[in-house]
Amino acid sequence: MTSISLVDILKAREVVKKSRSVVRTPMLTNVQTRLGLEKGSVDINLKLETMQRSGSFKMRGLTNQLANAPSSVLDGSRKLVTMSAGNYGRAFAQALHERNLKGVVCMPETAPENRCQLIQGYGISVERMTSTELMTTVKRHVIEDGMTFLHPFDDMNLIQGYGSCGLEILEDVPEVDLVLVCCGGGGLVAGIAAAIKLSGKTDCQVVAVEPEAAPSMYQSRLDGKPATITPKPTIAAGLAPPFTGGICFDLAQQFVDDVVLVSEQDIISAVETLYGIGLVVEPSGAAGMAALLAGRVDNVSSKRVVIVLTGSNVSPKELDKLVSDNVKK
The domains of the chain, with CATH numbers, are 6-57+155-328 (3.40.50.1100), 70-149 (3.40.50.1100)
pTM for the complete prediction? 0.94
Q: Does an H or E element contain 107, and which?
A: strand 103-108
Question: Phi and psi at residue 292, in whole multiples of 5°?
Answer: -70, -50
Dump pLDDT digits (tens) for 59-72. 999 999 999 999 99
pLDDT bracket for residue 186 (50, 70, 90): very high
Contacts of 83 (CB under 8 A, 6+ apart): 105, 106, 107, 108, 134, 135, 137, 138, 152
Q: What is the pLDDT of residue 182?
A: 98
Q: How far apart are CA 310 and CA 90, in angstroms?
A: 14
pLDDT, average across residues 182-201: 97
pLDDT bracket for residue 313 (50, 70, 90): confident
Amino acid at 211: P
pLDDT at 40 over 80: no
Q: How far apart are CA 294 and CA 292, in angstroms?
A: 6
pLDDT bracket for residue 327 (50, 70, 90): low
Burial profile 180-200: b = 16 or more Cβ within 10 angstroms, e = fewer: bbbbbbbbbbbbbbbbbbbbe
Q: How far apart are CA 38 and CA 180, in angstroms?
A: 20
CB atoms within 10 A of CB 1: 6
- Give the residue among 282, 294, 289 at the shortest CA–CA distance from 305: 289
Q: How far apart are CA 316 and CA 329, in angstroms?
A: 20
Q: What is the pLDDT of residue 1?
A: 78
Q: How far apart are CA 285 and CA 247, in angstroms?
A: 22
Instruction: Confirm if 9 and 164 have CB atoms less than 8 A apart.
Output: yes
Q: What is the pLDDT of residue 152?
A: 94
Q: Does an H or E element contain 182, and which?
A: strand 178-182
User: Sheet holding 125-129: strands in order across?
Assistant: 125-129, 103-108, 80-83, 148-149
Q: How far apart are CA 329 and CA 325, in angstroms?
A: 7
Where do runs of H (alpha helix) occur along the chain? Answer: 6-18, 58-67, 71-74, 87-99, 113-120, 134-145, 156-172, 187-198, 216-223, 246-255, 264-276, 287-293, 316-328
Q: What is the pLDDT of residue 201?
A: 98
- Give the residue among 152, 156, 203, 181 at the shortest CA–CA distance from 259: 181
Instruction: Confirm if 152 and 56 have CB atoms less than 8 A apart.
Output: no
Q: What is the pLDDT of residue 61?
A: 97
289-292 CB contacts, 8 Å cutoff, 24+ apart: 289/46, 289/180, 290/209, 290/262, 290/266, 291/180, 291/207, 291/209, 291/260, 291/262, 291/266, 292/42, 292/44, 292/180
> pLDDT averaged over the chain?
93
